[in-house]
Amino acid sequence: MATYAYLFKYIIIGDSGVGKSCFMLQFTDRRFKNNHDLTIGVEFGSRTIKVNDVSVKLQMWDTAGQESFKSITRSYYRGAIGALLLFDICNRQSFINLNKWLAETQTNGNPDIVITLVGNKTDLEAQRVVSQEEAKAYADLNNMIYIEASAKTAFNVDKTFVDSAGAILAAIGDGRINLSVEHAGIVVGKNSHREDLMRKSLAQGQNSGCKC
């Protein structure tokens, strides 16, 4: 029996070393690993959360940031409804390279994919080289949610996923994502009542300040 109203599939992308694996580990296991090995190909994680009383299971693919694994990770874009695009606020090159990752997502991803830009490593504020204002302006320009977080301290990690899932629910509620046909990246719980889900999703959209 389904224990969730929806299942959303996510992809986590960004340069190597920005903290993607640590970010997912903090969300799924509530722990931080200082010396995390570089991801080879794709790693997987999942967790069920509540968003405005709607139970949502998130399945996440954490992708390798190295160029040599691009042919592997591209196949995961199309199956995702949510994307977390991470950069390191202490590494300007990882911010500059966002254009490349955004283009990859737009070329290979689901047309309805909801992208959240995440400025990671706020625990290293003293070493910041990308301002919050600059990053927020970039997110606004590209129609993305923006949030700053720390995989190390867990600051805003849960909020990142909740806000992102809320934006997807809002898109379902107002019809921008059509569930009348099978939709890539979304599974509706078999025992869920669709009308009730739509009502809750719409309420989420009306109450959420998320940009989607």
- For the cut 60, the answer to whether the pLDDT of residue 206 exceeds it is no
Residue 39, pLDDT above cutoff 50: no
Measured CA distances, 54 to 89, 105, 138, 196 (Å)? 32, 27, 31, 10
Above 90 in pLDDT, residue 2? no
Give pLDDT tens digits for 130-176: 999 999 999 999 999 999 999 999 999 999 999 999 999 999 999 99
pLDDT of residue 113: 94
Q: What pLDDT, on a 0 to 100 scale, did the predictor assign at position 184?
A: 84
User: What is the share, in percent, of the chain residues with pLDDT greater than 90?
Assistant: 61
Mean pLDDT of 197-212: 49
Write out pLDDT tens, residues 90-135.
999 999 999 999 999 989 888 999 999 999 999 999 999 999 999 9
Per-residue pLDDT at 14: 92
What is the rounded CA–CA span in Å between residue 78 and residue 92? Answer: 28
Which tens digits make up the pLDDT trace of 184-196? Answer: 899 998 655 555 5
Average pLDDT taken over every residue of the chain: 84
Instruction: Tell me the CB-side half-sphere exposure of residue 61, using CA atoms within 13 A.
Output: 23
- Nearest C-alpha neighbor of 110 from the set 181, 15, 180, 177: 177
Domains of the chain: 6-207 (3.40.50.300)
pLDDT value for 178 = 87
* Predicted local distance difference test score (pLDDT) of residue 136: 98
